[in-house]
Amino acid sequence: MAVSAKTPPVSLNSDHLNPHFSKLSNLKAQNFAQIISKNNQFSLKKSYQNSLLNSTSSFTTDPNSYLTQLCIQNELNQAITFLTSVGKELQNDIEEETFVSLVRLCEFKRASDEASLIYSLVSNLFTHLSLRLGNALLSMFVRLGNLSDAWYVFGKMAERDVFSWNVLIGGYAKNGFLDEAIELYGRMLWLGGVGVRPDVYTFPCVLRACGGLSNWEWGREIHAHVLRFGFEADIDVVNSLITIRCEVFGDEKLGRAVHGYVAKMEYGAEDSVGNSLIQMYSSFGRWNEAEKVFSRIECKDVVSWTSMVSGYNNNGLAEKAVETYKLMELEGVEPDEITIASVLSACASLGSVVIGIKLHELAKRTGLIRYLMVANALIDFYSKRKCIDKALEVFHQIPDKDVVSWTSIILGLQINNRSFEALIYFRQMKINLTPNDVTLISLLSACARIGALMCGKEIHAHVLRNGLGFDGFLPNAILDMYVRCGRMKPANNQFKTQKQDVASWNILLTGHAERGQGKLAMDLFHKMIESEVRPNEITFVALLCACSRSGMVKGGLQYFNTMESEYYVAPNVKHYACVVDLLGRSGKLDDAYEIIQKMPMKPDAAIWGALLNACRIHRRVELGELAARHIFGMDNCSVGYYMLLCNLYSDSGKWDEVAKLRKTMGEMGLSIDPGCTWIEVKGKVHAFLSGDNFHPQIREITAILERFYEKMKVEGENDKNRSFANEVEASKADVFCGHSERLAVAYGLINTSPGMPIWVTKNLYMCKSCHNTMKFISKVVRREISVRDTKCFHHFKDGSCSCGDEGYWQLF
């Protein structure tokens, strides 16, 4: 529908509330006692107050002069005190111009409470507002973000000029009400009256609102209005046109044409035009052109530098973003909130902790940390650099947290293996805010990490209720949650109801791979091909892993050899690692080593790790030590590889080497996260740490485990303390496993109905002892027990495990 023909659906009468703001809280005027109480907190010294009171008595006959003088001196508190202390008769003598001065002072000081008090006085004294007073009130309320009162003021104005319309349109647009801003522009054309027509301040705002809505038709019509009213040569309008027609709608050819027009009209000397051109070329990834425009700007301001920094960062060139910021510092240009947020994002990508901390200190020193975008960027930075406690510190210092703040800390907790806390913060967030798609995706990942199925189902229900379950990344996040929680049946149901893209097929394939279901994975892959979905690199990683875990060597090699010729997917290091694992598990270690030697790219630590794991399974110490030397030459900080080598030595009876390796790890300061297992009972998630003695039911849990150990001893099974060859092996299992899954399973046996399956999720690998214990418990109690460790699902039933007792303590 044409913007100019859009009929106003809402009356401008002040008696009717704007329906677009029905959800906005209407700030009521506070009573005088509250205002006086607040102002007394900022009052001057008593001696000064006494002199002030003496002086005010002389002004009771002329309050306007006195209030005007206070406004000139920026003494808002004294002005409010005077207003509230005089009688109603004297208040009636206050002139309109005095109120204009008071309103402007409230706007300058961002004083919301005082603004509401003055507005209540104005409303009582004036039935209709003049143009001057009405515009002052409009500007104040828009600046304070109080759009409800701004709408009422607009309705009470007897006369409106272009400034009135521009202020309200700008207020709508800046607060995210883009549709309403465009609608107001249409009303302005129809209802503005004689002499009211758009000006150079109207079009930039309206054009950016069209860009925010990505509404190409409206954008074209507004552009036609620009030409009709003769503002095509205005700098600000040109900048807005560059933004909407080039950046938002991605028309690079048009962008170059606009640049040519700018050069022809000799606007190139204008810094603001140069900044817009930088942003335009950055959005297309045209760095040479952006850098040329940047180099031609004579007086580069903070916007120029920030345009380059954010442009580099948004296109994955974090290193250049940081380098540009350093040059900006050398030039003595002070950064603004957008600069700091952009550089922090780049530092998070690069791992530049030192620069990030300096930016944090700068933000605190300059007061820029009060901007939400800076605080949110700091949360993201600290979370990605594994400093989650610092992220929490920043989060708790934010006075008015928005959805991005909550989402950032929830995601930060999730990626730092604190998913249990992420769920707690989500519960707190829901009290005041509605989560967005990113929040829900982060939460679903956290639920999948700790096996919180009921919480995941709640989020799924929320998604369906709000009609969000069919677009974007949410459907696949829901599918992934069900797969990682071990519920393949609801996962398949979800798969059937959503758009089946390559990512959704890959999620199901990965689920079968984690369970060692090679045949099912192959059948699913063939269905994927029949559905004309083109496989990608991840598809073949999942497929090869499924074949490896199922011992399907021939099938796995066939897929590897044909993936490029038939499916046009070139093998990368991950695929070679899968093939090494495939051959190594089946005992073909020499073939696996030959593959590594002949592969076209340099093998990474993961490939040598796959060979080391195979050497552990088949006790090939020399070849395993060779693989370990290659690994530690590239990565000597990953505990998992030390764990593999330790397993190789212990399984081969080389206990002296185990002791040496453990000593080396201690000297290097390498540590393993404490074992933690989660179990969900009746919709509530319970966490058990290794050696946890603080759970309310710990006595019952310990007692039931001791009974199982006694039965295992009677039946000749290995118990907790005698399941290893010697104390070194027992110590190794305590460190690398922690046995926390035993506590969780015992809790599940106590608190669930007989015969019900038990599902637990663990953050470390299962040791042999725990694996044997789970098998024994499943046989004795006749219950199915599912344990998901870091990489594998173990489904215990009648004393046997789905992994076939082969790969339960191996690295994936």
8 Å CB contact between 775 and 755: no
Query: What's the chain's average pLDDT?
Result: 82
Per-residue pLDDT at 452: 92
Residues 748-795: pLDDT tens digits? Answer: 999 999 999 999 999 888 888 889 999 999 999 999 999 998 878 899
Comparing CA positions, the residue from 514, 520, 570 lying closest to residue 545 is 514
8 Å CB contact between 186 and 8: yes
Residues 5-43: pLDDT tens digits? Answer: 333 333 333 333 343 433 333 333 333 334 334 444 433
Angle at alpha carbon of residue 455, lines to 454 and 461, rounded to 5°: 90
Instruction: For the chain of 812 residues, list the mean pLDDT of each consecutive stretch of 10.
Output: 35 38 36 38 39 46 83 89 78 86 91 90 87 94 90 90 91 86 86 76 75 68 72 60 54 52 48 65 75 84 90 90 95 93 95 94 93 95 94 95 95 93 94 92 94 93 84 91 94 94 96 92 96 96 94 95 95 96 94 95 94 92 95 88 87 86 84 84 89 86 93 73 43 61 95 94 86 93 92 89 63 34
Per-residue pLDDT at 472: 82
Per-residue pLDDT at 52: 42
Per-residue pLDDT at 271: 55
Per DSSP, the three-state class of 157 is: strand
How many angstroms separate the Cα of 131 from the Cα of each of 128, 190, 275?
A: 10, 19, 36
Sign, CA dihedral 297-301-303-308, equals positive
Measure the CA–CA gap between 703 and 699, rounded to whole angstroms: 6
Residue that has been written with the tokens 């530098």 in this structure = 305
Per-residue pLDDT at 25: 36
Per-residue pLDDT at 453: 93
What residues contact residue 477 under an 8 Å CB cut-off, 6+ apart? Answer: 440, 441, 444, 445
Per-residue pLDDT at 196: 82
> How many whole angstroms from its chain centre is CA 395?
13
Sign, CA dihedral 331-333-339-344, equals positive
Per-residue pLDDT at 186: 86
Comparing CA positions, the residue from 641, 763, 751 lying closest to residue 696 is 751
| Structural tokens at position 20 | 């677009």
Per-residue pLDDT at 251: 54
Measure the CA–CA gap between 70 and 101, rounded to whole angstroms: 10
8 Å CB contact between 628 and 661: no
Measure the CA–CA gap between 544 and 747, rounded to whole angstroms: 37
> How many whole angstroms from its chain centre is CA 443?
10
Comparing CA positions, the residue from 300, 226, 301 lying closest to residue 258 is 226
Instruction: Select the CATH number that applies to the domain covering 572-671 from these four: 1.10.10, 3.40.50, 3.30.420, 1.25.40.
Output: 1.25.40
| Structural tokens at position 472 | 């974007």
What residues contact residue 68 under an 8 Å CB cut-off, 6+ apart? Answer: 97, 98, 101
Per-residue pLDDT at 280: 66
